[in-house]
Structure 1
Amino acid sequence: MSIKDIIEGKKEWRAHVKRLKALPNDYQIVYKEIQKYLFKVGPVELTNGTGLLSGIVDLFEEGAGLGKDVLEVTGRDVAAFCDDLIKDSKTYADIYQESANQEVNKAMKKVINRRK
């Protein structure tokens, strides 16, 4: 990643935050909880710019523009809303599970080879 990429990323993030701050307070609160949830769950592409988060702000801007309550947009179960957003995304948990399985398989092959 070059300095130019870092600077561009910061510009994008600042523009993203500016859009977020323009939303009604209830939308901002729910967005922050979504953001925390997604950072904990860890979809891999979340670290590649603001794509998913920007899409959420797009959706929230549309909902706020229509005068909807934020929970009309997300539903009452915000965690389920998040899970649905990332259902087809690879997460860090997926990567860790794959790694753990590979390590177990390697270890088991060694055990089997020693028995021969």
Structure 2
Amino acid sequence: MSDTEKSGIIAKMIGPKKRWRAYKARVAELPENYRAAVEAIERHLMHFVPTDGDANASMFEDLADLFEQAAVNGTPIREVVGQDPTEFVKEFAENYSDGGYVPARARRQLTDSIERATGEQAGTEG
């Protein structure tokens, strides 16, 4: 294997990892309720939306962009995800993959997580 081939393989392995760490650092900087919503969406996407490494990196970077802007502008989480978070995630993911099967339990878990992030279970959005 030539040095060029080795270099290409290493770049393919390290590139997505670097992007993932950068994405996670951005999410960590979000206000708590926005971070909770992003993490709920992230879990859902990781389990049920098949994509490749580059598509995953772009998808999560765009998710961070969306919620960073929402936080800066004071846009409520519900205004970002709507009343049906599973529909939001489905539409969001369609930009990056052919979708995937999402069981009812997972859809309920995502909806519950967004409700907690928006404070709807407690009565106020944080």
TM-score by length of 2: 0.63
Gaps of 5+ in 1: 94-116
- Higher normalized helix content (fraction of residues): 1
- 2:11 pairs, out of 4, 8, 32, with 4
- 1:14 pairs, out of 21, 27, 32, with 21
Instruction: Find the counterpart in structure 1 of residue 72 from structure 2.
Output: 65
- RMSD, aligned α-carbons: 2.0
Question: In the superposition, relative to structure 1, how do residues 14 and 90 fare at CA in structure 2: closer, same or farther (>3 Å)?
Answer: same
Please tell me whether the aligned partners of residues 90 and 99 of structure 2 are also in contact (alpha carbons under 8 angstroms): no
Deviation at 1:19, TM superposition (A): 0.7
* Residue 29 of structure 1 pairs with residue 71 of structure 2: no
Gaps of 5+ in 2: 1-7, 102-126
Deviation at 1:81, TM superposition (A): 0.4
Question: In the superposition, relative to structure 1, how do residues 92 and 26 fare at CA in structure 2: closer, same or farther (>3 Å)?
Answer: same
Instruction: Find the counterpart in structure 2 of residue 105 from structure 1.
Output: none
User: What CA deviation, in whole Å up to 9, does each residue of 1:39-84 have, x standing for no partner?
Assistant: 2222324x33411111111111111110122222111321110011
- 2:93 pairs, out of 72, 86, 107, with 86
- 1:51 pairs, out of 43, 58, 63, with 58
Structure 1 moving runs of 4+ over 3 Å = none
Q: Which has the larger radius of gyration?
A: 1
Aligned residues: 92
Instruction: Find the counterpart in structure 1 of residue 114 from structure 2.
Output: none
TM-score by length of 1: 0.67
Deviation at 1:92, TM superposition (A): 5.3
Please tell me whether the aligned partners of residues 31 and 71 of structure 2 are also in contact (alpha carbons under 8 angstroms): yes
